[in-house]
Amino acid sequence: MNKINQLFANSTDQKLLSLYFCAGCPTLEGTADVILTLQRRGIAMIEVGIPFSDPLADGPVIQSAATQALKNGMTLKTLFSQLASIKDQVEIPLVLMGYLNPILHYGIEAFCQSCVEAGVSGAIIPDLPFDDYLNIVKPVADKYDLRIIMLITPETSEERIRFIDDNTDGFIYMVSSAAITGTQKSFDDAKQAYFRRINAMNLRNPRMIGFGISNAQTLKAAQDNAAGAIIGSKFVTLLNETNGNADIALDKLFEALTK
């Protein structure tokens, strides 16, 4: 069974925590150590960012991380090599998150095959048109048992959400707002209503809520309204501040999530 499906099948408390970081930042060689540290510290799933020069959906923190990673020399080929080196040690799901352009340059089939060889269970491609997913990417991803995760926002129609739910597997990435990535102090009434509306749809796929989670209030709101939460910008900031020491960055993150 795909590790993403296995994770949600075995999870009953709906308190999962997934963390995002950008491969190759703050150091080129730190990717493997960050992954193994997060696994050891109990993180349920890890999103590994593929750096790209024009990350449209990302705020300044992740944009800066991508820029630094590219300066450090991170490429998809390098990332797959690093992931393959620890494949036998990684038991939790790894999900690559990146934009379509580098993946197209790598080749869709080559990308899916490399994911399997490197122990990757899924991919999030924010700018992948859904029609292209259905007609081009999904048949190849299914061949390699790779989950392509789709995003929904408060502006996504119910019809579209149900179509995504019917044609994807793994989980649905619930973006908390129609904004770029970044931290928020709280989720307002409109976002809470959005969470309740999606809950009431009784979707087939589990959901994870991301974008803006950085403290106890936003974490609780996400974990109360979905299978769990995804934290990106806050952890990326802390990882940079600690020069890539994931243990210390996690200590600081867990402290922030109690406030």
Helix (H/G/I), strand (E/B), else coil: 141 = helix
Helices 216-225 & 189-200, crossing angle to 10 degrees?
Answer: 20
Tens-digit pLDDT profile for residues 173-214: 999 875 545 445 567 788 889 999 999 999 999 999 999 898
| Strands of 138-206, DSSP E | 147-149, 151-152, 172-175
Q: Which residues are CB-neighbours of 130 under 8 A, at least 6 positions away?
A: 150, 163, 164
Write the DSSP string, 69-109: HHHHT--HHHHHHHHHHTGGG--S-EEEE--HHHHHHH-HH
Q: Is 208 exposed, middle or buried (0-12, 13-18, 19+ CB in 10 A)?
A: buried
Report the pLDDT value the prediction gives residue 195, as an integer from 0 to 100: 92
Average pLDDT for 1-14: 89
| pLDDT at 57 exceeding the cut of 70 | no
Query: What is the C-alpha to C-alpha distance for residues 31 and 252, in angstroms, rounded to an integer?
Result: 19
| pLDDT at 53 exceeding the cut of 90 | no
| pLDDT at 56 exceeding the cut of 80 | no
Tens-digit pLDDT profile for residues 216-255: 999 999 999 999 999 999 999 999 999 999 999 999 999 9
The predicted model scores a pTM of 0.94
N-terminal to C-terminal alpha carbon distance within the chain: 37
Average pLDDT for 25-36: 97
Tens-digit pLDDT profile for residues 92-104: 999 999 999 999 9
Tens-digit pLDDT profile for residues 101-156: 999 999 999 999 999 999 999 999 999 999 999 999 999 999 999 999 999 999 99
| Distance of alpha carbon 95 from the chain centroid | 6
Q: Which residues are CB-neighbours of 230 under 8 A, at least 6 positions away?
A: 18, 19, 20, 47, 173, 208, 209, 210, 211, 213, 222
Average pLDDT for 35-43: 98
Average pLDDT for 75-81: 97
Q: Which residues are CB-neighbours of 61 under 8 A, at least 6 positions away?
A: 181, 182, 233, 236, 237
Q: Which of 13, 29, 33, 47 is catalytic?
A: 47
Report the pLDDT value the prediction gives residue 187, as an integer from 0 to 100: 76
- The two most distant CA atoms of the chain are separated, in Å, by 45
Q: Which of 58, 109, 142, 165 is catalytic?
A: 58
109 is a catalytic site residue: no
| pLDDT at 45 exceeding the cut of 80 | yes
Report the pLDDT value the prediction gives residue 178, as an integer from 0 to 100: 59
Report the pLDDT value the prediction gives residue 101, as an integer from 0 to 100: 94
58 is a catalytic site residue: yes
